[in-house]
Amino acid sequence: MTTPIVVGNWKMNTTADQARQLAEQICSQVTERALDTRTTVVLCPPFVNLSAVGEVIEDRPIALGAQNCWSEPYGAFTGEISAAMLRAVGCRYVIVGHSERRTIFREDDQLIVRKLERVWEEKLVPILCIGETLAERQLHQTWDVLSRQLALVSAHSSRTRAWICAYEPVWAIGTGIAATAEEIEQAHAYLRSFLDAHGCHHVPLLYGGSVTEENAASIAAIAHVDGVLVGGASLVAERFLRIIQAQANA
Ligand code: PEP
């Protein structure tokens, strides 16, 4: 583990002007507060704002990421975006398998693995999201679900393939109800040992799900939390900066 990773997933929010402004505020403060040497910050705006944000963060210590990509390299896939296009626009990271993609757009593990292959082909770093639903947790299926979601991926992973794993319990995303410290600790301990047992010692493990400036410090202090994936709170510069600060101080 090098520096903690903080990813801002802006989802379907911001126009180009708003995206530029938000990126500018985050960038200037990250540098001014000397957070760049102690954290890796990744901004994931909507596809159409990648260029605008890319221009703002060029030559600055913040990386560009996309929220998704398609599983084929090019062709007749109306409305889709390829990993090569993302690389060309300056992305270094791509979120893959976010729970909103899995539930609203019915993405399954097989499709997600094909996307990962494409992202790796383009030498980008996938941020793979995994997590159980509330029903699965209540039925005591959490470990089975996480193992299933990871097993396919770790079979395709290798020491030379960089990727990041984000544990995001579905019931905690956008609900304002983050997992408790105990729940995060248990899940991360389980996932860390799963990853290590499958030769993925090099894979950082992030937590995501209602991370705020209030709970950021306590989450940052939990064992095996190598950073956070932030949705709602990443849309307000000062809130996001406080979350970055908490990771930098951990
Ligand atoms: C997310 O989008 O992955 C997320 C964790 O959202 P939020 O922080 O709003 O729960």
Domain ranges within the chain, ordered by starting residue: 5-249
Q: State whether the beta carbon of 230 lies less than 6 angstroms from ligand 1.
A: yes
Instruction: Report which protein residue has its CA nearest ligand 1's atom 8.
Output: 231
Run of H or E including 93: strand 93-96
CB 231, CB 239: distance < 8 Å = no
98 and 111 Cβ atoms separated by less than 8 Å: no
Mean pLDDT of 124-138: 97
CB 241 within 8 A of CB 33: yes
Rounded CA separation 131/110 (Å): 16
- Residue identified by tokens 């600055």 is 60
For helices 109-121 and 142-156, give the axis angle rounded to 10 degrees.
40
Kindly report, residue by residue over 169-205, the tens digit of the pLDDT.
999 999 999 999 999 999 999 999 999 998 899 999 9
| Contact call for residues 90 and 64 (beta carbons, < 8 A) | yes
Considering the candidates 98, 107, 213, 224, report the single residue annotated as catalytic.
98
Candidates 6, 45, 5; CA nearest to 22 is 45
Query: Above 60 in pLDDT, residue 110?
Result: yes
Round to whole Å and give the CA distance between 158 and 161.
5
pLDDT in tens, 222-248: 999 999 999 999 999 999 999 999 999
Both structure tokens of 29:
């403060």
Cα distances (angstroms) measured from residue 37 to each of 31, 79, 155, 233, 244: 9, 38, 33, 22, 12
Residue nearest to atom 5 of ligand 1 (CA): 209
Q: Which fold has domain 5-249?
A: TIM Barrel (3.20.20)
Annotated catalytic, 100?
no
Burial call 122-147: b when 16+ CB within 10 Å, e when fewer:
bebbbbbbbbbbeebbeeeebeebbe
Distance 210 CA to ligand 1 centre (A): 6
> What are the tens digits of pLDDT across the range 195-228?
999 889 999 999 999 999 999 999 999 999 999 9
Both tokens assigned to 116: 């990962």
Is 214 a residue of the active site?
no
- Alpha-helical segments (H) within 58-180: 83-88, 99-104, 109-121, 134-138, 142-156
Taking alpha carbons only, the member of 97, 237, 230, 241 closest to residue 163 is: 97
Q: How far is the CA of 8 from the centre of ligand 1 (A)?
A: 9
- Give the distance (Å) from ligand 1 centre to CA of residue 200: 25
Q: Look over the chain and give the mean of its residue pLDDT values, rounded to a whole number.
A: 95
Inform me whether the pLDDT recorded for 1 exceeds 70: no
- Segment (H or E) for 7: strand 5-9
Q: Which of 100, 107, 168, 183 is catalytic?
A: 168
Rounded Cα–Cα distance for residues 45 and 66 (Å): 7
Give the Cα separation of 112 and 188 in Å (integer): 21
